[in-house]
Structure 1
Amino acid sequence: MLEVSHLTVGYGSKPVLKDVSFRLADGEILAVIGPNGAGKSTLVRALSGILPPQCGSIRYNGRDLCSLSVQERARMIAVVPQARNLPAGFTAWQVVSLGRTPYLNWFGQLSPADEELVREAMRRTDTAHLAERLVGELSGGELQRLLLARALVQATPVMLLDEPTTHLDLQYQIGLLNRVVEVVRQPISGNGNGKPHSPAALVVLHDLNLVARYADRVLLMVDGCVRSCGTVSDVLRPAMLSEAFGVPLEVMRSPNGKYPLVVPLMA
């Protein structure tokens, strides 16, 4: 269980996150939504250790993550950023292998067990056929799957995905989120101990209909505060969403009746 309690984070003296509290369980997908400037990406930076809390705590199973070294934290939390600024001369295999960095010896060499984890992560993210391809030759969707594989091979109990579907077409958006679900639902061994783990995933998303389809729970943020946190049906409510995003929205059932469908009301 990842537990964020009364977290306040800012740039300089200006708070961006204000008294943020929520929990994230193993094997769960929590979607973070909200208008631009709500603090979604700042939350990811705070959880990953880039921004120190001004007050509050971030704990996993009672362990204070803010007190950990960089290496220890890298064994607890993996980040899947948007596919930007990857070294064009690296192969796909090299990019994914970087996820094992927190576990390497002084010589920085992958063990046979590490290599097997890389192969398994690439298989599960449908990137094994890209292993020898250079990053500069790959599409945005392929790069995003590589970053997911890198996080998977990092074998952490928590994964943070910051707007992973941005700039991807619908096919790649659905493909990537299907992979996230598979990763969370199907345990993989890691850390060299052979014990399977099902990571928790916090995913920042803009498309509310993708949220309705893939999230177990939803965290709605407005002006750096948690406006609501709960199930999809608890949070994706017309009045609440319309107020948060500043446009009139309606929520109805999808044609198959399985998921909410969020649509703007025409003027």
Structure 2
Amino acid sequence: MTLRLRELSVQAAGRTLVDRLSLDVAAGHMVGLVGPNGSGKSTALRCVYRALRPTSGAVLLDGTDLASVPLRESARSIAALTQESHTELDFTVAEVIALGRTPHSRGNGPLTGRERELCRTAMDRLDVAHLADRSVLTLSGGERQRVLVARALVQEPRVLVLDEPTNHLDVRHQVRLLSFLRGAELTVLTALHDLNLAAAVCDRIAVLSHGCLVASGAPAEVLTPELVREVFGVDATVVRHPRTGTPQLLYDFVPFDTSSPSPGAVQEGTR
């Protein structure tokens, strides 16, 4: 299933949060949104999973404008993990994961045998099966994050929208989750802060700054020292991973210079 953002703009309180963003995510590919804090990544993702209505432009799913699709129907195709995902009710892990079947259910009937198997498989994949009977209120941040990803998988989406999915995860679970997503044959649009993780797992990277798309392409094309300096305000050396060949960034840690441009500052004409 293809995902396309077409001239997407979002304005709020007199500010432009996303400015005419156009981006294509091919079926089965993983595209990473990167950029400084406040660059518009989360705002763009909210438009995709329909928590926010764009001021102008459109989100197209297989060529169909999502604005013309009932919310329940689009929820059968698109699952989201948001930065604000949380559960304040005293549900068990198994109950939270089962909520992923809500867009497909009719009424409050019990899960079918197939749906129970979906839940078991998702729990195994995310290494949370041993937590099935625990209250989500007792989990660590990383455990809860894995439960919420499992819930999204149980939804059986064709498109996954993930806002910082590796937040709170230890290195093992970061690698395990992103490796799974890489091979899951899903269409994935994800915001990531870690440029090295983005380079390792994404087919393409889109760089945002001040709501504008400033670069888009394969990781090796996009993640250059010049772009990292211009957009993020830091100096970095780009090296190749010895086994995969993907670009990896080695950052230069130097005393903070208050006279340097603020991160995300992009000169006119680069947008």
TM-score by length of 2: 0.87
Query: What is the aligned partner in structure 1 of residue 126 from structure 2?
Result: 125
2:66 is matched with 65
Q: Does 1:253 align with 2:250?
A: no
- Indicate the percent of aligned positions where both proteins have the same amino acid: 40
SS at match of 2:60: strand
CA distance 1:124–1:166, shift in 2 (3 Å): closer
* Cα pair distance change 1:257/1:44, threshold 3 Å: closer
SS at match of 1:252: strand
* CA contact 2:145–2:168 (8 Å) conserved in 1: no
Name stretches of at least 5 consecutive residues in structure 2 with no aligned partner: 255-271
Is this contact kept in 2: 1:82–1:144, CA < 8 A? no
The aligned runs of 1:1-267 (5 Å cut-off) are: 1-82=2-83, 84-87=85-88, 89-181=90-182, 185-186=183-184, 198-256=185-243, 258-267=245-254
Deviation of residue 123 (structure 1)? 2.3
Tell me, what secondary structure is at the counterpart of 1:89?
coil
1:201 partner letter: V
- Alpha carbons 1:217, 1:232 under 8 Å: kept: yes
How far the C-alpha of 1:93 sits from its partner, in A, is 0.8
Could you tell me how far 1:119 is from its partner in structure 2? Answer: 1.8
Q: Is the 8 A contact 1:83 1:140 kept in 2?
A: no
Deviation digits for residues 197-232 of structure 1 (CA, Å, limit 9, x no counterpart): x32111111111111211111010011011111111
Q: Give the deviation of 1:83 after TM superposition.
A: 7.3
Counterpart amino acid of residue 169 in structure 2? L
> Deviation at 1:266?
4.4
Deviation of residue 41 (structure 1)? 0.7
Gaps of 5+ in 1: 187-197
Q: After alignment, is 99-108 or 226-235 more displaced? A: 99-108
Q: How far apart, in 1, do the equivalents of 2:47 and 2:154 lie?
A: 22
Distance in 2 (CA, whole Å) between partners of 1:221 and 1:6 is: 14
SS of aligned partner of 1:142: helix
Q: Secondary structure at the match of 2:117?
A: helix
Deviation at 1:168?
Answer: 3.1
Q: Shift in Å at residue 256 of structure 1?
A: 4.0
Q: CA RMSD in A?
A: 1.8
Tell me what 2:262 maps to: none
Q: Which moved more, 1:163-172 or 1:225-234?
A: 163-172
> Which 10-residue stretch deviates more, 80-89 or 60-69?
80-89
Report how many aligned residue pairs link the two structures.
253
Instruction: Compute the displacement of 1:108 (Å).
Output: 4.2
Q: Note closer, same or farther for the CA distance 1:255–1:264 as it changes in structure 2 (3 Å cut).
A: same
The amino acid that maps onto 1:200 is T
1:45 deviation in Å?
A: 0.8
Q: Is the 8 A contact 1:83 1:143 kept in 2?
A: no
1:257 offset after TM fit, Å?
6.0
SS of structure 2 residue aligned to 1:155: coil
Matched with 1:195 is none
Instruction: Indicate if the aligned counterparts of 1:4 and 1:20 stay in contact, CA closer than 8 A.
Output: yes
Paired residue secondary structure (2:9): strand
Deviation at 1:88, TM superposition (A): 5.4
Distance 2:4 2:242 in 1: 36
